[in-house]
Amino acid sequence: MTRVNADVDPDDIPSNPSANRHIQDVMSRRAIIKGGTVVAAAGFLTTGLASSAVAYGRPDKPGRPGKPGKELLGFEAVPPGTDDAIVVPAGYTAQVLIPWGTPLNSRGPAWKKDASNTAADQERQIGSNHDGMHLFPLSKDSGLLAVNHEYVDTQGLYTEGDEVVTKEKVDKALAAHGVSIMKIRRNRENGAWEHVDSPFNRRVTGSTPVKFSGPVTLENDALKSNNAPQGTLNNCSSGYTPWGTYVTCEENWNGYFGTEDASWTPDAEEKRYGVAATGTPYRWHEADERFDLAKNRKEVNRFGWIVEINPFAPRSAPVKRTALGRFKHEGATVTESRGRVVVYSGDDQDGEYVYKFVGDGRWRDRLRRGQSPLDHGTLYVAKFDDNGSGVWLPLVFGQGALTRANGWKDQADVLIRTRTAADAVGATRLDRPEWVAVDPKNKDVFLTLTNGSGNGGAAGPRKPNPYGHILRWAEKGGDNTALSFKWEVFILSGDPAYDKTVELGAEAIHGSPDGIGFDEDGRLWIQTDISNSSQNLPAKGYDNIGNNMLLACDPKTREIKRFLVGPRGSEVTGLTFSADGRSLFVNIQHPGESTTAWGSPTVENPRVVSNWPDFDPAGRPRSATVVVTKKDGGRIGT
């Protein structure tokens, strides 16, 4: 999420004015209707999936965690922590890789710890605020690591801070955004991972030329801005396709645009996406007209998309795949079913929706015809019903409410105004939909709802919901292209000391689940992003939980164990594995960010909260990738 000065998390502020029911309403009503029976839970099991034989609790309330398979969670859980360090279980080691500012190759430019690197330097260095990532393996000991750079700390990015905005500063910030692709390999002698020079090493930034594809083209009037199409911004989470490309997601892109022109006012669509004259913490419009809403109004419509990058074609332009809709895309979880591609994506803001794109026809056939499987298909939005069932509602021009009579022009219009289209068809509002994971064994789908205001009654997941929860659903027949599903609350996050309905022990308490993903053995990994205005604070019920963390979960028994705790002020995000499952890569984002518990970094002392990972007395905290390995060389989690 975009948090320049962490006191207010913009994702927590809803901008959905629709009357669509909130998931909290649905859940509290369900709890009353069901009265603790397991009717809908049994329904969840009728999917005919061999490995779905899980004992579900009441559908609106997660079951009590049981004992895990020994092999699945074989490690000793680490306790909650508040140290400025990475903590992993006994028998494991953690190593720092490609922190912000690492040069793309050995010719430099070298990282300068006083943040005096120029914009031109930053274009050839690893960006900041590492987020979603994927390792494209070249062998079991090497691969191309694609890493998102979600945002910048506007103060920490510059030696003299951010009081004055200049074009050079905007250019440096743009260069620190986007994606890095870096070849990494395991050193044969010492077993450590290292980055190496490679023609594949590249940066995609907020200024890189980009293409548009799918129903929304650059000829569309809504996209006719004053400049050439360039850049991807606020790249939060990501996914990867079965054809070997990286898909990166534009989340809080609205925050980069603003204006000093008092005559500019947002229209209904701009409001729906949170575009506002004073809505930017970055103030780029003060030095770059591209981001001035009054001078270049339509540039903002070129953001909010999922962007496909081919890591194996370093000169190829990133492509914005417009068929997947325009919203604050948290992630893009790609799976396939019956030869068709399916992409799940949450819209991370309080009261927003979860979507899925289903490709039209077999993706291999599309590729064979020289077409993108992501350009042809249908976008759906989820509706969660009272009885534990749900449906996917199509966002198709001419269908349902999306007609010309209702003011819709064509499919491009539906996609540019995806949120409004989803309002119109009656989607279910959720508590900040973040990542989606698909169980490789039975194709069940998991969605993290990090926290939110809630609208619901007293029972079940909370109102308000400061700790979040995880939903699980089974698509009909285990087919991810299906248009109906059965759902339940999988885990209610939190701390029983503050909420007795939480069924988590000391080894499992956590809040604000965000990143989520499976490894090949079927472990479900959960990452947290507790806001720095709540972290470690008794007044927020977060003092027992400690710093942000990574946990492992047995999806059959719901047993959870804390695996890694991050340094102060940081979020743990991004999840990928080496081809042999023996190296786990996670990102530590925004260590040292301003927190209510630890204080605020200053120009004079950027190390007030954290000095991870360098601990240089004259340095500054840096986001970085961390590689975890087991000392005995075993698989991660055993």
Kindly state the smallest distance separating residue 516's Cβ from ligand FEO, in Å.
12
352 binds, among Ca ion, ligand FEO, none (CB under 5 to 8 A by kind): none
Element (H, E) at 232: none
Q: Is 434 in the site for ligand FEO (CB under 6 A)?
A: yes
Kindly state the smallest distance separating residue 64's Cβ from Ca ion, in Å.
27
CB 468 within 8 A of CB 513: yes
Three-state SS for 240? strand
Which among 10, 8, 4, 5 is positioned nearest to 534, based on CA atoms? Answer: 8
Q: Is 495 in the site for Ca ion (CB under 5 A)?
A: no
How many residues of this chain bind ligand FEO (CB under 6 A)?
Answer: 9
Three-state SS for 574? strand
Which among 448, 212, 486, 469 is positioned nearest to 324, based on CA atoms? Answer: 212
357: which strand partners?
343, 379
Three-state SS for 535? coil
251 binds, among ligand FEO, Ca ion, none (CB under 5 to 8 A by kind): ligand FEO
CB 573 within 8 A of CB 514: yes
Kindly state the smallest distance separating residue 133's Cβ from ligand FEO, in Å.
13
423 binds, among ligand FEO, Ca ion, none (CB under 5 to 8 A by kind): none
The footprint of ligand FEO on residues 490-519 (CB under 6 A) is: 514
Question: Which residue minimizes CB distance to ligand FEO?
Answer: 236
Q: Is 348 in the site for ligand FEO (CB under 6 A)?
A: yes
How far apart are the C-alpha atoms of 103 and 191, rounded to whole Å?
22
Nearer to Ca ion, 153 or 514 (CB): 514
Kindly state the smallest distance separating residue 186's Cβ from ligand FEO, in Å.
29
300 binds, among ligand FEO, Ca ion, none (CB under 5 to 8 A by kind): none
Tokens (6 digits) for 21: 């029911």
Three-state SS for 607? coil
Kindly state the smallest distance separating residue 449's Cβ from ligand FEO, in Å.
11
Binding mask 243-282 for ligand FEO (x = CB under 6 A): --------x-------------------------------
Stretch that binds Ca ion, among 27-35, 398-406, 501-509, 510-518 (CB under 5 A): 510-518
Which among 221, 250, 76, 233 is positioned nearest to 170, based on CA atoms? Answer: 233
Kindly state the smallest distance separating residue 432's Cβ from ligand FEO, in Å.
7
Q: Is 12 in the site for ligand FEO (CB under 6 A)?
A: no
Kindly state the smallest distance separating residue 251's Cβ from ligand FEO, in Å.
5
Nearer to ligand FEO, 270 or 514 (CB): 514
Tokens (6 digits) for 64: 């009590």
Three-state SS for 445? strand
Kindly state the smallest distance separating residue 590's Cβ from ligand FEO, in Å.
11
Kindly state the smallest distance separating residue 537's Cβ from ligand FEO, in Å.
20
How far CA 123 is from CA of 201, 227, 282, in Å, comes to 12, 20, 19
Kindly state the smallest distance separating residue 446's Cβ from ligand FEO, in Å.
16
Q: Is 1 in the site for ligand FEO (CB under 6 A)?
A: yes
Stretch that binds Ca ion, among 64-72, 75-83, 446-454, 458-466 (CB under 5 A): 446-454
Give the list of residues 6+ apart from residue 563 with CB closer than 8 angstroms, or none.
Answer: 75, 77, 78, 88, 89, 525, 549, 550, 551, 552, 637
Give the list of residues 6+ apart from residue 91 with CB closer than 8 angstroms, or none.
Answer: 75, 630, 631, 632
Angle of CA points 138, 140, 142, to nearest 5°: 50
Q: Is 121 in the site for ligand FEO (CB under 6 A)?
A: no
Nearer to ligand FEO, 29 or 590 (CB): 590
Strands (E), 269-314: 306-309
Tokens (6 digits) for 7: 């006191």
How many residues of this chain bind Ca ion (CB under 5 A)?
Answer: 4
292 binds, among Ca ion, ligand FEO, none (CB under 5 to 8 A by kind): none
Can you state the percent helix, strand and coil of the chain, rounding each to 5? 15, 30, 55
Kindly state the smallest distance separating residue 524's Cβ from Ca ion, in Å.
17
Nearer to ligand FEO, 288 or 348 (CB): 348
336 binds, among ligand FEO, Ca ion, none (CB under 5 to 8 A by kind): none
The upper half-sphere exposure of residue 406, i.e. CA atoms within 13 Å in the direction of its Cβ, equals: 15
133 binds, among Ca ion, ligand FEO, none (CB under 5 to 8 A by kind): none
How far apart are the C-alpha atoms of 343 and 352, rounded to whole Å?
17
CA dihedral 560, 576, 514, 11 (to 10 degrees): 170
Angle of CA points 612, 231, 238, to nearest 5°: 60
The footprint of Ca ion on residues 450-479 (CB under 5 A) is: 450
495 binds, among ligand FEO, Ca ion, none (CB under 5 to 8 A by kind): none
Kindly state the smallest distance separating residue 78's Cβ from Ca ion, in Å.
22
595 binds, among Ca ion, ligand FEO, none (CB under 5 to 8 A by kind): none
Kindly state the smallest distance separating residue 470's Cβ from ligand FEO, in Å.
15
Q: Is 236 in the site for ligand FEO (CB under 6 A)?
A: yes
Order of strands across the sheet that contains 333-337: 333-337, 340-346, 354-359, 377-384, 389-394, 484-492, 469-475, 445-449, 433-438
Q: Is 1 in the site for Ca ion (CB under 5 A)?
A: yes
How far apart are the C-alpha atoms of 210 and 300, rounded to whole Å?
14
Nearer to Ca ion, 9 or 308 (CB): 9
Question: Which residue minimizes CB distance to Ca ion?
Answer: 529
Kindly state the smallest distance separating residue 11's Cβ from Ca ion, in Å.
7
Among 60, 529, 559, 593, indicate the residue that binds Ca ion (CB under 5 A).
529
Nearer to ligand FEO, 47 or 418 (CB): 418
Q: Is 514 in the site for Ca ion (CB under 5 A)?
A: yes
Three-state SS for 268? helix
φ/ψ (deg, to 5) at 34:
-80, -30
How far apart are the C-alpha atoms of 61 and 81, rounded to whole Å?
28
How far apart are the C-alpha atoms of 325 and 317, rounded to whole Å?
20
CB 428 within 8 A of CB 382: yes
Q: How many CB atoms lie within 10 A of CB 159?
A: 13
Tokens (6 digits) for 572: 């743990």
Among 123, 150, 431, 495, indicate the residue that binds ligand FEO (CB under 6 A).
150
Residues at the interface with ligand FEO (CB under 6 A) = 1, 11, 150, 236, 251, 330, 348, 434, 514
| Binding residues vs Ca ion (CB under 5 A) | 1, 450, 514, 529
